[in-house]
Structure 1
C-alpha cells in the first residue's frame, strides 16, 4: 500500500483517527494532511531560496534532499510523513554520528536542507564549503506559523509515481561507516506488502515505536503504520516508568522495538504487569534474540506474542522466528534465499556461506560516492555480506563476513559462540573474536565487558576461566570453544549500540584487555 494513498483515504473517511503521537504533540489523519501542506511549503521555499543549491546524488533523479537530524522522534516522524506526498527525498541523520561523518554524508550525497539543533554541524558544513541550508526545528516552526498565518500552504499531497525516489537511508554501520542508498516508492510499497502479511501492522491498530527515527526499524514502523491505516506512537527513548501508563492509556497493543527495549519492557512488566497486559504483539528486529529475553517476556507477559524478524534495510524484510531459541528463521514465501560459497555457487545444506536474497523491495544499489560496495549481482540477487546456513528450508544466521573465523580448517560463527554464553550466570555483554595463530590460522577468544572492574583485578561477577570453559564445552562443538578469555572495561560500539567486533579485536591485539 502506498503511504500517501492510505493517509488521504483515512483522512477522508475517518479524519479524527489518530495518525501520529509523541510526548509533545499528536496529529489525526486529517491534521496530518493539513500539516504536510504547511511543512512542504516551508521545505520547498528553503530549497528554492538557495542561490547555489547542492547537486543531489544522481540516484535521486534531481529531486532535492531534505535531512532531519534531531533527537525529537515526533518532529522527525511528522516531517518524513509530511513530505511523502510531494516531490521530495527525505533522509534521517543520527545526530550522534561523528561530526566528520555527518559532514561527509551531507556533502557527498548532495543533501540540500538539514533540520538540526546543532550549531557545530552548521559551522562545520559552512567551513567545508557546503552551499545548502541548516535550520533549527524552532526556526522551522516559526516559518510554519508564518505560512499558516498567510494562508499559503502547498497544494494537497498526491500519490506519486512508483519509480520516484522516496527516502535516502543508511546502513547500520556495524562493520563500517554507514552507506547511503535510495528507496523508491515502489520498493517501499513492496516492503509494506511483506510486513503487512507477516508482522500485523493492521488498520486502526495502535503501535508504539520508541527510539530514534534515524534507526531504520523505527522509521519503518512509522511508515508501515501509516501505510496500513494504523496509529503510531513514537518516543525519543524507552522510559519504563512512563511507557507503562502510556501503553495502558493509549490502548497500545503492538510494539516495534530493538532487542534492548524488549528487554527493558520485560523487566518493567515484571514490576507492574497490569499496565502491560493489553499488549498483544511485540516485533523486534534482528533475529537470534537472546533466549534470556524471550524467556523473561514469556514469564511476565504470557499472552503477548513475540516476532523476531530478520531483514536488511537495503533489501527489506526477509523472514522471522517465533518460537524456541529464535535462531532458526522461516524465510517468507515471496523472498528467495541462497547460501553461496566464495565461488558464487550454492552450498549444500548446513554449510556456512554468504547469504544472497532476491526481493522486490531491494534497493538498486548504494549512492555514488558513499562506498565502493556492490549490493546486487548481475543476476538480480543481493547481499549485504551476512553469513548463514540453510537446513531443511530454515535459515540460521552466522554474522557478517568478519564474524566467521577459520580455525584448524573449520568455519566458526562468532555470533554462535556468543549465543552460547547468553545463559552463563553472572556474565554481562561478551564479544567473540578471532586471533591469529601460527598452527591453526586463528583461534577463538571471548572478550567480556566488565565496566570499570578490570583495573582492580577480577570483577566479582565474572565466572572464572574453568567455569567459562565448562559452560562452553557443554554447549558448543570443540572448534567453537574459546581458547582464551579476556576482560575489558567497555566493548566498542556503534552509535546504535551494536558491538564493533573489528575494533574489539584491535583492542585485545594491542594489549588493552586482561587475560584470564
Structure 2
C-alpha cells in the first residue's frame, strides 16, 4: 500500500502541522524542500512519514524515506539517553534531518519547538531565543553544528544563555576536541552526535550507540550501523538501496562511507573513506591534522585538503579561520603536526579565510575548500611550492 507525498516549504511553521499528521497517519507523508515545493510529485510506501532530500558529498540529490516508527524510535532513544522528553529550541534548517528531528522530538514530547528567527545564525539572536526557550518547564534542549557552537562561545551573552540547556546536541560535522573542551569548560552540557539522514539523524551520542542501535567496523575501518532508526530506503532508487543497505540474518545494516574504530564500546569516527589524502605516496588523515591545528593558539576552525602537485601528487593545505585574521606561523604549524603525526602530514601552506565553505547544515565542503586552497596558494598542478 502507498500514501501520497506532500511537499512543504522549508519553514518550521509550514512543517509542524504537516509533520504531526504524517507521524500519526492522518495526513500524507511530507518532504520539506528548500526550493519551491511542487504538489503531487510521488507516492511512498504507507509506513513512510517523511522524505528528506540530501545531496551528501556526491552532489547528486537523494530522497531518503524515513518511517514514522524509525523517527519515533530515534526520538525515544534520544529522550532516554538525555533527561527524558523536553522542550526544544530549533536553531537548524528543517529541510535537513538534524533540524527535522528537533521538530519530531518536540512534537512527540507534547509541544512544537521554539524557533530561532529566520536569517543567518547570530549569537545575540540565539541568546535571546535561548533565554525564552529555557524560561518554562524543562528539561531544555537544542541542537547545533560546530560552526554555530564557535559563535556561541565567542559571545559571552550567548554562552551564558546556553548554560541553561540541559543538553546541547552537536553534530552535522565532527566537533574538534579543542572546541568540545572549550564548550565544556564554559559550562555547556554538550553531547556530540554521529549519524546521518539514513539513521534519522544522530544515533551515536558521545561515541556510544543509542538504545537498539548497533555499530560494526570492518577490516577497512568502514562503519556500518543497524537498528530501528534505519531509513526504509531511497525513493525510486533501488540501485542505491542495494549498494547501501545489506541484510545479515534478520538484521538490516547501513554501510556508511565513514571510517572509524571502536575502543571499549566507544566509536571514534575518523572521517570519510574518500577523505584520505596521498602525498608523496604516504596516506594522510585530514581529520587528524585538523585536530592538531585546531589546538593551536588563535585558530577557531580548520579544514585540511589536498591540492594537485606535480612533485607530491597532492600537497596538504590548511584552510583556517582565526580570531584576528592572522595566520598561525607555518613553521609552528608544521612542527606541531609533524611531531604528532609525522612530517608527511604537515601542511605545506596555510590559507586564512573568513569562514569555511559549508554544505548542508554545517559540514565542511571539502571540494569547495580545495578550490579555495588552489586559488589562494602558490601550490599548482605544474609544480610544487
Q: TM-score range by the shorter chain?
A: 0.7 to 0.9
In 2, are the aligned partners of 1:339 and 1:356 still within 8 Å (CA)? yes
- Deviations along 1:69-100, whole A, 9 cap, x unmatched? 24x423322332244331411011124xxxxx
Distance 1:336 1:407, change over 3 A: farther
Question: Equivalences for 1:362-377 in 2 at 5 Å?
Answer: 362-368=230-236, 372=240, 374-377=243-246
2:171 match = 285
1:382 aligns with 2:263: no
In 2, are the aligned partners of 1:407 and 1:441 still within 8 Å (CA)? yes
1:505 aligns with 2:370: yes
In 1, are the aligned partners of 2:173 and 2:362 still within 8 Å (CA)? no
Q: Which runs of 5+ in 2 are unaligned?
A: 380-384
Q: Please, what TM-score do these two structures have when normalized by structure 1?
A: 0.62
Q: Which runs of 5+ in 1 are unaligned?
A: 1-60, 96-101, 113-161, 322-328, 341-346, 452-458
In 2, are the aligned partners of 1:73 and 1:211 still within 8 Å (CA)? no
Q: Please, what TM-score do these two structures have when normalized by structure 2?
A: 0.80
- In structure 1, which of residues 292, 309, 312 is the aligned counterpart of residue 196 of structure 2? 312
- In structure 1, which of residues 41, 61, 65 is the aligned counterpart of residue 5 of structure 2? 65
Using the TM superposition, give the Cα deviation of residue 110 of structure 1 relative to its aligned residue in structure 2, in angstroms: 2.2
Higher strand share: 2
1:465 match = 330
Q: Distance in 1 between matches of 2:74 and 2:159?
A: 34
1:414 match = 286
Distance 1:450 1:440, change over 3 A: same
Distance 1:353 1:412, change over 3 A: farther
2:382 match = none
Q: Distance in 2 between matches of 1:235 and 1:398?
A: 32
Distance 1:272 1:498, change over 3 A: closer
Q: Distance in 2 between matches of 1:313 and 1:434?
A: 27
Moved more, 413-422 or 223-232: 223-232
Q: Could you say which structure has the larger radius of gyration?
A: 1
1:225 match = 106
Q: How many residues align?
A: 367
1:262 match = 149
In 1, are the aligned partners of 2:169 and 2:191 still within 8 Å (CA)? yes
In 2, are the aligned partners of 1:212 and 1:236 still within 8 Å (CA)? no
1:76 match = 15
SS in 2 for 1:363: coil
SS in 2 for 1:63: strand
- Deviations along 1:457-516, whole A, 9 cap, x unmatched? xx961122112212323433444322343456764332534322123324444x454558
Q: Distance in 1 between matches of 2:331 and 2:244?
A: 44
Question: Equivalences for 1:293-304 in 2 at 5 Å?
Answer: 293-301=179-187, 304=188
2:263 match = 391
2:30 match = 90
Distance 1:429 1:320, change over 3 A: same
Q: Distance in 2 between matches of 1:298 and 1:332?
A: 22
Question: Equivalences for 1:325-474 in 2 at 5 Å?
Answer: 329-332=207-210, 334-340=212-218, 347=219, 353-368=221-236, 372=240, 374-379=243-248, 380-407=252-279, 410-436=282-308, 442-448=314-320, 461-474=326-339
- Deviations along 1:212-270, whole A, 9 cap, x unmatched? 221211211221232244663222455135224313533554222223333333444x3
In 2, are the aligned partners of 1:64 and 1:111 still within 8 Å (CA)? yes
- In structure 2, which of residues 67, 79, 83 is the aligned counterpart of residue 184 of structure 1? 67
Distance 1:377 1:62, change over 3 A: same
Using the TM superposition, give the Cα deviation of residue 337 of structure 1 relative to its aligned residue in structure 2, in angstroms: 1.8
